[in-house]
Each structure stands twice: as structure tokens, then as C-alpha cells.
Homo-oligomer: A and B are copies of this chain.
Amino acid sequence: MAKTYTIGETAEMFGVPESTLRFYDKRGLLPFIERDEADRRVFTEMQISLLKTIQHLKNTDMTIGQIKQYVDWIVEGDATIPKRLAMLVAHRQDIYDQIAMREASLDGVNFKIARYEKYVNEQREKEND
């Protein structure tokens, strides 16, 4: 018997409200999810693993729509592996771009910080006259 999780346990595990998991399910991000006798969602390792992937994709600004495409391809089976591979390779480039943009903007912010620090230090010196 593989371990399973309730929606509450899963939500806590991922640090999201249960409503978010229900929203993802409604949007088709959690295929193959089963229900118990009382119609409650049963999260298996498969869902947990998929949710981890979904979090990586979300953390890197992939839209729900694109994630759904990826999940739909998983549902279609191994024949879509080349498509999934191409999607992830393209997305990896997006991630590189996101990081590069942030590093560039970080430089701009650091420049401002340096100017403000200089000003603050000069004011402090004047006071200590």
C-alpha cells in the first residue's frame, strides 16, 4: 500500500491553501487523481511528484495554460515525450532570461543603494563635526 495524502495534508506539504489544489484540479493539472468512498481526493506519490514539477514551473513563471499543455501531454503518453522535451528546453531558456534580467536589474538597484549609502554616510560625518 503506497502512502496517500488528503487534500489538507497535501496543501500543508506544499504551503498552499486547499482551494489552490482544487483550482489546479479544476484546471486539469491533476489528472489521474482518484477519489475515496466519500468522494474525497486521494493524493498519491504520483500527484505529489507532479505537484513538485508544477511548483518548479510556476516558480519560473510558466502559466497555468502552458502547464496544462505539459500535463495533457503526460496524459497522452510516451509518444509526446519529444514535445515535452522541446517545451522544457524552451522553458529553460526562459529561466535563463529571467535570471539574467534580474541580475541586470540587481546592478541598477545596487547602484542606487551605493549612492544612497554615500549620501547617508556624508550626512553622518557632517553631524559628527
Using a CB–CB cutoff of 8 Å, the interface residues on chain A facing chain B are 52-53, 55-57, 59-60, 78, 81-82, 84-85, 88-89, 91-92, 95-96, 98-99, 101-106, 108-110, 112-113, 116-117, 119-120
Contacts and interface: CB of A to CB of B under 8 A. Distances in A.
B81 A116 contact: yes
Contact of A108 (B56, B81, B98): B56
Contacts of A57: 105, 109
A95 B106 contact: yes
How many copies of this chain? 2
Nearest to A58: B105
A99 B103 contact: yes
Given A82-B120, A120-B81, A88 B103 contact: no
29 contacts: A55-B105, A56-B105, A57-B109, A59-B101, A59-B102, A59-B104, A59-B105, A60-B102, A60-B105, A60-B106, A60-B109, A78-B119, A81-B119, A82-B116, A85-B113, A85-B116, A85-B120, A88-B109, A88-B113, A88-B116, A89-B113, A92-B109, A92-B113, A95-B105, A95-B106, A98-B102, A99-B99, A99-B103, A99-B106
